[in-house]
Chain A
Amino acid sequence: MTLGTLWRTFVPLVLLLVCIGALIFGYLRLRATEKAMGFDGVTNMVWVISQTQVEALKMRAVLAEDPDDEGQIGLQYDLLRSRIDMLTEGPQFRFLQALEMAETVKAAVQPAIRLDPALRPLSAAEKAELGQEATTLARTLNRTANAAMVMEWELLTTQLTRYRTAMAQVNYSIGLGVVLAIYLGWRILADRRARLEADLFRRQSMRLEEDLDHERAMVSHWRDFAAVVSHQFRTPLAVIDSAAQRLYRRGQPASDEVLQAKQGTIREMVASLDQLVDAALLIGRMDHKMDLPQQAVQDLAPVVRNMVKKLQGRYRDREITLSLEEERFVAWCDANLVQHSLINLIDNAIKYSPPFEPVEVRMQRQDNKVVCTVADRGPGMTDAEAERLFQRFQRGAGAPTGGTGIGLWLAQRLAELQGGRIEARPRPEGGALFSLILPEAPQDVESKT
């Protein structure tokens, strides 16, 4: 266990236990005090003793007032005896024993008990003696009451001291509990804040990383672009340069035919450069996830029809035909990328076939796939060529000057981005067939992958 872990887990746990322990201790102490509070049976002794004293004094008074009133004497004696009996039995007597006054009191009450008028009528002398003994008894009881009062106050003081100690302990334990609770609360808040800050920091780092990834993608994109440019742009640029030089060879202007031919070459080269730039930018963006295919279920028939019409306009001296087996060809694709892909295939077909041969575009449906085939009547291909066909910067054996070696590679990449592919095979009657195959619905893509 590291010091940090110890400080974070073990110490707070111990503090929490101490906190709970302090509060439990306080609670138990309070409960014990609550139970101990109250008076025990003998805390009333001053009253009991003094009442006996009062009855003794009244006994003497009754005897002095009318020694012949037997009824009154008997009643008063009963009252005195009841007090004496009470004082000399049970808890009251034990209290006297604790006071060390038990024997004194017992001796003092003996004459009064002996001179009971209920046992036999008392003589005048005995009545006088009873009066005398009652006075003595009253005096003894007076001293006893004094001692009882002191003892009761001592008991009370002890009890109060005990309560005060208990209360102080309760106060300390509650104070300790509260302080620890405050500390733990502060720790919880501090930890929470630290966690929030860490979280914020983590999110900031993540954002930074994302930004960095994005920047890396950008850099990578432009590096790829630069690679394509440096590698591929040289050829067309060299061709343009050479054509331009021809225009002014030996200080005299070229003939009209040469001029026208060179202009054509230059335009062709510029067009392929344009295409190169487009392809490099588009694939770069896709590769680095800066753009993603905007796929949807859509009818490709009008898309392909428009595109073919546009190409027919561009290549006026070439024959480009389109045949659709059905009215609608619904596929899961990005129409823009499909167009790009197909334009590359058609451009390729035009480049690699003689000018008088037609290029045929055909759309059909096969096994839940939309297949768009471009057929040319060029030199076709060998199996070895077919394998390398879709690699970047690969060019066919009989490639004309204007090729960049990027068209088929780009078309294949775009098809793959949409979950589709391009297949190339020789045309049985001569030439080549390039088929762009696209799924009809997204499920087909998933089941395929």
Chain B
Amino acid sequence: MTETSQTSPEPLLKLEGISKSFPGVRALRDVSLSLERGEIHALLGENGAGKSTIIKIMGGIQSQDEGQIFLNGKECHFSSYRDAISAGIGIVFQEFSLIPELDAVDNIFLGREMRNALGFSRKNEMTRIAQGIFERLGVKTRFDVPVARLSVAEQQFVEIAKALSLDVQVLILDEPTATLTPTEAELLFNVMRQLRDQGIGIFFVSHHLEEIFEICDRITVLRDGAHVGVLKTADCTMDHLVEKMVGRKIESTFPPKPALQTAERILEAENIRFASNGHPNSFYLRKGEILGFAGLVGSGRTETALALIGALPCPGKRVRIEGREVSMGNPAQALHHGIGILPESRKTEGLILGFSIRDNISINNLPQYTRPIGTIDTAREKRKTQELMSAVHIKAPSDETTVVSLSGGNQQKVVIARWLNRRSKILIFDEPTRGIDVGAKAEIYTLMRNLTAEGYAIIMISSELPEVVGMCDRVAVFSHGVITAVLEGDAISSEEVMRHATASVKKSAVDALSA
């Protein structure tokens, strides 16, 4: 992994002294990058460090204020993504640009379909070429179904194939693993290695340092829009990298787990199922604890939480809060009983993106600010919102900033703050740190422990094992819609969680947890 092809004197792609400003913000300051042929090169930095901006500049989507781009030693000017692609730079964005209803071949050739003399599409020919590309990638996929029916990983391969069909020499992958399972990510890495061996240069963006160490040859670290260093992967350690990224040493990421003050069960849930013929799960939650919902993607963790709060129908469930039986037919009733949720996808389910921080935090707190005559006391609302913002350390110019301009970590804190004003007692955090950088992760963890210290009880759904092990007091492990084990204390380890998560679910698991 250490040998990078240095045979050619000119790097494949070179950026020199790139600067870019937006009104009031300097997004990039004098950043230089270089990418060799046959190299996988990580772009690393916290959210807001300037990664997306530099990618957009390489792709011609934005133009730099200063600086030059050289491809194969020749200076290039891109005024659109089309320019960049035809020059040989392809980007696979986090949000795919595939048309869900079309199959892989039609997607790959979208806009430049091959036609015969009569104008009919030469589907067989195109399929043959697409198959050739997939052979290059070393993976298989189905060509006869709409891409919407392919897995996320396969869709990503289709995106990559689309770029390769355009003969790109530089491939930029923007957080490609964020939505992949570990197995799928492995597949992607194999594809990336194949392409590297074929001489393609790859920029890889990821927040997962393990992945970067696994696959990348070199790493460029950005911080606050500036280039802080380029390192050979073989020469550096993870701590070193994190320090470079955040500009300070991060102590242990996970706060200590305090001893539980009470055994009082704040929530008892029975017969929670999310499909009419699904397995009925039962679990309980104690005051001040963090209960993990672990398991593979698709094992029913999120669905169970949604069924609990009534966002999914769940006839026959029984929920007791502080010993009292309550009905919970929809999230509004759950709110009434003190249960709040931080949804899995903060952008599509958590936030109203174009709205201000204040609007987003206030949305379920308005009755508190309402005068007896029914109008909102905006002065009070503003004051209280600012209190909440500082309580969860949201960094933003003001409470009127729109949430779309915030970093992932700050966006997540906005959703958290929403629940802290209602005397909620139970919070469900679904993948609270997905797509969030290292520094902000640590802040979210500390925040969660502060909340439990105040008496909140938290259910945390997470696909990241270190997070589950580091944060949870107890862990309910899901496999195929069934809670197969509840681990507590020293029994919580990555190996144990994985063992139960991949367990087949023949034996009844109910008695294991309703003890």
- Chain B associates with chain A: no
